Structure 1
Amino acid sequence: MIEALTTPDLKDPDLYLDRAPHDVFDRLRTAQPVYWNPEKDGSGFWSLTRYADIVEVSRNPALFSSASENGGHRIFNENEVGLTGAGESAIGTPFISIDPPTHTQYRKFIMPAVAPGRLAGIEERIRERCLALVEKIPLGEPVNIVPLLSAPLPLLTLCELFDLPAEMWVKLYDWTNAFVGEDDPDFRQSPEAMATILGEFMAFCARLFEERRAAPGQDLATLLATMEVNGSPVTLREFTGNMILALVGANETTRNSLSHSIVAFAENPEQWDRIRAEPDLIKTAVREMVRHASPVMHMRRTAMADTEIGGQAIAKGDKVVMWYIAANRDESVFPDPHRFDVGRGNIQHLGFGTGQHVCVGSRLAEMQLRVAFGILAERVARFEVLSPPRRFRSNFINGLKNLDVVLIPG
């Protein structure tokens, strides 16, 4: 046991199955903030657990690459096992796995398209959808809040952005779980099942690609299908890769921040009392919700030259994994970091990343959290969690499969 505690394997998905291992990250941040993690099936990687180190790496894409040809943005090497971790596939490279300046071209197109200020009336439409979802939740009775609110809310928003039928959110939900759940048997039941899911999704993308190119609209799918990068139209493979990125990014962050925050409010009812007493507090409290939840636990880079991080020599070609879940509990940045405190203000957490690859939909995610908890604050006096939720078996997504809870009316 002592050896296991001394040299934790941060890649092992079982480490995250029962809990988010904040104690492990706390100890590493103090004793070994730039920690070498051997791999049974790879070359090993450096783990960064301090806020400042992660910001430094994130803001230097020329030295620390996330390009697919250099391994990509996950611990596993995308150029060896494919984007989904399911082996060789025809899925293209999403722009998260492309370095500047090409990455910058993608962002130039996409960021304005998902900026709330450019999406006329979207907050009111999110509110209408959220109201409809909340009104169907029986107050004072046990419910699983994930399929009733946490999952459908962001995916219904995505259906609007892609101009897809609202009822398609269920299919999008299944697909995204499969894409991020490479280590979870509930999501990757067999290679054959995954091949079927990929085939289904790729057929959907092929139809959507052709439809949007033939009859362009004002939606995000049209933008992804018709943009030109480096002077050339995007291909179907590139479109498919970016569709996966949009699905995962739009779903997992908002969904799991919402679920984790309900747990946090159940454990800290005085914080919920503050939200109900000071509704304007939600505007900045959503940042604390994402910090505390850290729904995306890591991103990876590859060193393109010999360098140094936090006094530790890093060799050219070494993998460098940035643990956002650790940096968001860095006591040098966030006093009393494990405390859930909606009064922290307009904090600069790393829940959406930072630097060149900061999440393009972060403001839209915050809007949905703000709307959802604003509506809940009008109806719910307390959250009571009935049993520990089942967690994703994943070193990437800090996800809850279910959340059995009672919403106490008041």
Structure 2
Amino acid sequence: MSAKNFRIPDDHAAVLVDPAAYADGRIHETYAWLRANNSLGRAEIEGVDPFWVATKHADILEISRQNALFANGVRSPTLVSQAVDAKVREMTGGSPHLLRTLIHMDAPDHMKYRVLTQAWFLPQNLRSMEDRIRRIARAAVDKMAAKGGRCDFVSEVALHYPLHVIMEIMGVPEEDEGRMLMLTQELFGAADPELGRKPKDESPTAQIETGVLTDFIAYFTRFSEGKRANPSDDLGSLIANSQIDGQPISHFEAMSYYIIVATAGHDTTSSSTAGAIWGLAENPGEFAKLKADPSLIPGLVDESIRWITPVKTFMRTATEDTELAGRSLSKDDWLMLCYASGNRDEEVFDDPNAFRVDRKANKHLAFGYGAHVCLGQHLAKMEMRILWEEMLPRLKSIELAGEPKQSLAVFVNGPKTLPIAFEMA
């Protein structure tokens, strides 16, 4: 059958590219419809190149395990409009990428750059950091306890704990953490009127956050110069002094590396941490299970990551004609991998919309899969586990004290406000 036979209805296609739909929950209604009726459909939207939409867990896995067939670097790995793509190529002399991070790379470069820092994020190395992370977690719980039983968990706790951890690992001074947080929110929240930097009358898909990237690069240029002049035992020094194929890493690629670690290294963990609180506040029975059996903490961690799925979408590009899920794909076809849909696939997860701390065989896709699986997944889960080991004995009750709100974004989103009332032991 031709591509037109799998065209997604316009109303559902519009939801896929609407940042507000990821904030208000409409995206999950569209995902459910697509999984039931057109699980690998084709979205055709004015101003955006057509793209296939993978919503089933199995199809996302299949695409993710075939990195040569479904590439990252050919086109943008995040959804962009035709106007943005044209502007970026004009600015870069033909490249679709303003940065060149691990998510923009394919083999062989991807693995060469990944192994530069991979050892820092392996479980055996992270164990040596556990005491440092536990001190940071304990301070975060103390800060929450000092709020007197009410706080916005996102702005007052969740944003700062993983930020402090990754900045300490990188060697970024604590006094600069606020700047890193602001720039991260401006980058990932570009389409959100409360977070983004752009004028609010622009179309969300027409935004290029060049100003934010310029500010990041200005900061990390000075940072890198300092780490080359006076290297220390931190990730920032490692990147500054790295070599690829016997040559120093380029300035552009070093800046890209810093930016991806300094943003993805905390933002998604913050969202999942807030998601855990949100899920427990809405489901007191699950909180009771957790209090009765703290061995469920690892299950809580995985469930909150699945339930929130901070990285909502990534794009891939077919490198040759192929067949997938009964569809004929052509070379250069663009595909959207909808991780939040795969994580609520009824064929994989029982009662997928429910929040369950004791969910068994939680094979979520929130960290991706295959060669591009999240570099920091073990750090993220360790941070969340330690925080709950410190918080759970002291937290007696928790409930929502207002309406939670999520950020407006198609790529990376999560809770941006989470008012709670709580009682500490």
Taking structure 2 as the reference length, the TM-score comes to 0.89
Distance in 2, matches of 1:193 and 1:110, equals: 28
Tell me whether 55-64 or 275-284 shows the greater mean CA deviation: 275-284
Shift of 1:196: 4.8
Instruction: Determine if contact 1:300/1:321 at 8 Å carries over to the other structure.
Output: yes
Partner residue of 2:134? Answer: 127
| Residue equivalent to 1:118 | 125
Spell out, residue by residue over 1:158-186, the C-alpha distance to the aligned partner (whole angstroms, 9 max, x if none). 11111122232211110111121221233
Query: Partner of 2:4 in structure 1?
Result: none
Give the equivalent residue in structure 1 for 2:173.
Answer: 165
> Who is 1:218 aligned against?
233
Pick one of 1, 17, 23 that aligns with 1:17.
23
2:42 counterpart of 1:36: yes
User: 1:402 maps to what in 2?
Assistant: 417
**C-alpha distance after superposition, 1:338-394 (max 9, x if no partner):** 121111245221011011100010010001111112222111122211222232111
Distance 1:7 1:148, change over 3 A: closer
8 Å Cα contact 1:102-1:230 kept in structure 2:
no
Is the alpha carbon distance of 1:310 and 1:327 closer, same or farther for their aligned partners in structure 2, counting shifts above 3 Å? same
Q: How far apart are residue 229 of structure 1 and its match? A: 2.1
Q: 1:79 to 1:286 in 2, by over 3 A?
A: same
Contact 1:142 1:404 in 2 (8 A): yes
Give the C-alpha shift of residue 51 in structure 1: 0.5
- Name which of structure 1's ranges 128-137 and 323-332 shifts more when overlaid on structure 2: 128-137
Using the TM superposition, give the Cα deviation of residue 46 of structure 1 relative to its aligned residue in structure 2, in angstroms: 0.6
Aligned residue in 2 for 1:203 = 218
Question: Take 2:226 and 2:170, find their aligned partners in 1: how far apart are those partners?
Answer: 12
- Alpha-carbon distance, 1:139 to partner: 5.8
- Whichever residue aligns with residue 117 of structure 2, its letter is I
**Counterparts of 2:167 and 2:13, CA distance in 1:** 44
Written as runs of structure 1 = structure 2, the 5 A alignment for 1:9-408 is 9-19=15-25, 21-67=27-73, 70-76=74-80, 80-82=86-88, 92-119=99-126, 121-137=128-144, 138=146, 141-190=149-198, 196-408=211-423
Task: Give the direction of change, closer, same or farther, for the CA distance of 1:325–1:120 in structure 2 (3 Å limit).
Answer: closer
Shift of 1:228: 1.8
Distance 1:30 1:120, change over 3 A: closer
Is 2:216–2:259's contact at 8 Å kept on the other side of the alignment? Answer: no
Secondary structure in structure 2 of the residue aligned to 1:401: strand
CA distance in 2, matches of 1:7, 1:58: 22
1:158 corresponds to which letter in structure 2? I
Q: 1:106 to 1:196 in 2, by over 3 A?
A: closer
- Sort the Cα spacing of 1:146 and 1:289 in 2 relative to 1 into closer, same or farther, 3 A: same
Which AA in structure 2 matches 1:73? P
Shift of 1:28: 0.5
Partner Cα separation in structure 2 for residue 188 and residue 292 of structure 1: 25
TM-score normalised over the length of structure 1: 0.92
The whole-number CA distance in structure 2 between the counterparts of 1:368 and 1:206 is: 28
Identity %: 30
Check the 8 A contact 2:76/2:97 in 1, yes or no: no
Q: Which amino acid aligns with 1:44?
A: P
Q: What letter matches 2:136 in structure 1? A: R
Unaligned runs of 5+ in 1: none
Distance 1:50 1:102 in 2: 29
Instruction: Quote the Cα distance in structure 2 between the aligned partners of 1:407 and 1:96.
Output: 39
**Range 136-145 or range 125-134, more displaced:** 136-145
Deviation at 1:42, TM superposition (A): 2.2
- For residues 245 and 8 of structure 1, the distance between their equivalents in structure 2, rounded to whole angstroms, comes to 29
* Distance (whole Å) between structure 1 residues aligned to residue 88 and residue 138 of structure 2: 40
Letter in 2 for 1:144: D
SS in structure 1 at match of 2:180: helix
Letter in 2 for 1:215: N
